[in-house]
Amino acid sequence: MVDSQAPRKPPPADIEAWLSLFSGSEMPILRQTARRLDDARQHIDRVTGRDITDIVLQDPLLAIRVLAYIQAFGSKRLHSDITNIASAVMMLGVEPFFRKFENPQTIETMLAGKPQALLGVLQVILRTQRASRYAHDWAFARHDMNVEEVALAALLNDLAEVLLWCFAPEMAIDIRRRHQSGTLRSGSIQQEVLGFPLADLQLALCRSWHLPDLLTALMDSSSAHLPRVQNVRLAVNLARHSIDGWTDAAIPDDFAAIQSLLNISRETLLARLQLPAELVPRLVGQESEADEGRSRRP
């Protein structure tokens, strides 16, 4: 047991030190994920690769563990990258998967006694799950050749933030507090607290763990002109802006961009999002107001 009176270690000084910390530590997973894995293990003779994939794709930290492991495991025998969880599970096999990922540490255990940090990381993970669902739905609507790649990229888009909440909760809390009480953008606040924006750490993690180039590109805003990257970016943005409700001022712009990507109407988009019926008139009305405003401009 760790002595609660022991002095805290100073935070890593730079991105390389953060990478060393993360790479040398066991990634925790959600307690719910651990329970679902235990239940599946009890019926291993009936469990399929699809069943395992569905469990993994609800948990960004288990997803990254599987993806990073398969890249190292299969790097000498593969002619191409594995860019989705289903292929990774198929390559590993059901029984080897359970042997590799048995007795995992959970986020709830790791952050025991830190309820504010636990709530913070669960909120971020809920946001990534929502972004992944959106990205999957829109990629399917666009007839994307590999829908799961797009959904996985959205799930992992905020991986660096999830890890910060797990391994440096005080810094994550400080960043959130500054963001809520000030006017600076998130990247600027992260620069002040960490010395770099989390987006830089995110891409460094992708390189360090040899994640497929395609997944890295899908999460990289410098490739924003590509439709698949737009799919991921818009899913992440809408999940972030809507996680506390549908009143954020950025949501109408999100809707307009998604409608353009999918070539659908506002009504069709709202139906796809399965929003409560009482919200629909107001959200449709926002589009009419925006069109009227544009028509009045000289």
Using the Cα atoms of residue 279, residue 282, residue 284 and residue 287 in order, give the sign of their dihedral: negative
pLDDT recorded at residue 213: 80
- pLDDT score, position 132: 96
| Dihedral Cα 244, 182, 195, 111, nearest 10 deg | -40
Ordered domains of the chain (ranges, CATH): 13-211 (1.10.3210.10)
Query: How far, rounded to the nearest angstrom, does the alpha carbon of residue 268 sit from its chain's CA centroid?
Result: 25
Per-residue pLDDT for 288 more than 80? no
Tell me, what's the pLDDT at 220? 75
* pLDDT tens figures, 36-81: 999 999 999 999 999 999 999 999 999 999 998 888 765 555 555 6
Residue percentage of the chain with pLDDT more than 70: 90
